[in-house]
């Protein structure tokens, strides 16, 4: 497959970054690539995102597209060090030694010699603390720039803190206006942990919400843009997934307008603790 080289001059959006606890900059918006298993479609989406100004890609061993992520990065003219790559250790590979091995496999698939952010994908009982200890070792060995976790409730984080020398600097959880994660967000802030929202658009289901539609009409933006702006104004990082070029571009154009205090409050009030994915306290996967 021929991949067109991306000229940095075509850049359409500059995405701001959050400064993490160790001073590393993480873009407030990245491309989520879950379910991008069609090789050509995945590379095309990632390449378009880099062309539009995205500088972060969120993958995982489970997504079976780490090779494609590496390929899209190598095909772009954006220097590797300007792209923030996240990947995750899958549940069946957790534990201390297993995580170190899984990391090596991910590095090989990505074709990279370091990863920006490595996460425990889900807090597998009896294993997630050791998994994080291995991630901490990778951080000490400078193979990753940031250690983190995903799908950790406060009680999981407290267990990790008991054994950690360095606290996780990012927690990636399901978050959108129907699941605002207020308590977890306050806890993460207190502990200098950035929150990344997965399914930031509620998997697309909440794009027809009447309140969000009304605000979108008022500010002259799409509902997806209003939601992504809401995340940003809450100081959260988002990783919306799309394989559709115009949507990839649209999702990045959220740094040129502001929601008022009243609009933010109306969006906050949509919370109903509704999950579209699994609850980290009950997440048996049959694979």
Footprint of ligand NDP on 98-157 (CB under 6 A): 121, 150-151
Task: Please identify, using beta-carbon distances, which residue of 95 and 177 lies nearer to ligand NDP.
Answer: 177
Rg (CA), the chain: 18
Task: Please identify, using beta-carbon distances, which residue of 167 and 249 lies nearer to ligand NDP.
Answer: 249
Among 224, 259, 267, 270, binds ligand NDP (CB under 6 A): 224
Specify whether the CB–CB gap between 94 and 128 falls below 8 A. yes
The site that binds ligand NDP (CB under 6 A) totals a number of residues, namely 28
Angstrom distance (rounded) from CA 131 to CA 137: 10
Among 172, 180, 181, 236, binds ligand NDP (CB under 6 A): 172
In the numeric block, which tokens belong to residue 212?
A: 């969000």
Task: Please identify, using beta-carbon distances, which residue of 23 and 220 lies nearer to ligand NDP.
Answer: 220
Task: Please identify, using beta-carbon distances, which residue of 203 and 266 lies nearer to ligand NDP.
Answer: 203
Among 54, 84, 198, 232, binds ligand NDP (CB under 6 A): 198
Specify whether the CB–CB gap between 243 and 45 falls below 8 A. yes
Task: Please identify, using beta-carbon distances, which residue of 141 and 272 lies nearer to ligand NDP.
Answer: 272
Angstrom distance (rounded) from CA 111 to CA 47: 17
Q: CB of residue 62 vs ligand NDP: minimum separation in angstroms? A: 8
Angstrom distance (rounded) from CA 167 to CA 163: 9
54 included as an active-site residue: no
Pairing relation of β-strands 170-174 and 84-89?
A: unpaired
Footprint of ligand NDP on 229-258 (CB under 6 A): 239-244, 247, 250-251
Burial of 231 (0-12, 13-18, 19+ CB in 10 A): buried
Q: Which residue of the set 63, 139, 178, 232 is catalytic?
A: 63
Residues 6+ apart with CB under 8 A from 118: 86, 87, 88, 89, 103, 106, 135, 138, 144, 146, 147, 148
Interface stretch with ligand NDP, choices 8-16, 67-75, 181-189, 203-211 (CB under 6 A): 203-211
Report, as residue numbers or ranges, the catalytic residues.
63
Q: Please give the residue ranges that form the binding site for ligand NDP (CB under 6 A).
A: 32-34, 58, 121, 150-151, 172, 198-204, 207, 222, 224, 239-244, 247, 250-251, 277
């Amino acid at each position: 497959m021929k991949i067109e080289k991306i000229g940095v001059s075509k850049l359409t959006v500059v995405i701001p970054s959050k400064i993490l606890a160790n001073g590393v900059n993480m873009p407030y918006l990245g491309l989520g690539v879950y379910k991008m298993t069609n090789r050509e479609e995945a590379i095309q989406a990632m390449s378009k995102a880099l062309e539009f100004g995205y500088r972060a890609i969120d993958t995982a061993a489970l997504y079976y597209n780490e090779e494609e992520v590496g390929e899209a990065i190598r095909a772009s003219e954006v220097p590797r060090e300007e792209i923030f790559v996240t990947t995750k250790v899958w549940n069946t590979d957790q534990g201390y030694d297993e995580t170190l091995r899984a990391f090596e496999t991910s590095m090989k698939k990505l074709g990279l010699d370091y990863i920006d952010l490595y996460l425990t994908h889900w807090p597998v009982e009896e294993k997630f603390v050791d998994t994080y200890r291995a991630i901490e070792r990778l951080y000490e060995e400078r193979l990753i720039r940031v250690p983190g976790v995903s799908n950790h409730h406060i009680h999981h984080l407290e267990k990790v803190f008991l054994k950690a020398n360095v606290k996780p600097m990012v927690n990636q959880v399901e978050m959108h206006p129907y699941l605002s994660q207020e308590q977890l967000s306050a806890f993460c802030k207190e502990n200098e942990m950035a929150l990344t929202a997965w399914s930031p658009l509620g998997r697309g289901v909440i794009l027809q919400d009447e309140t969000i539609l009304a605000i979108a009409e008022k500010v002259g933006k799409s509902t997806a843009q209003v939601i992504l702006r809401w995340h940003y104004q809450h100081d959260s990082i988002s990783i919306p997934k799309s394989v559709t070029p115009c949507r990839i571009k649209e999702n990045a154009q959220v740094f040129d307008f502001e929601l008022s205090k009243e609009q933010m409050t109306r969006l906050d009030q949509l919370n109903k603790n509704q999950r579209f994915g699994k609850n980290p306290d009950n997440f048996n996967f049959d694979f």
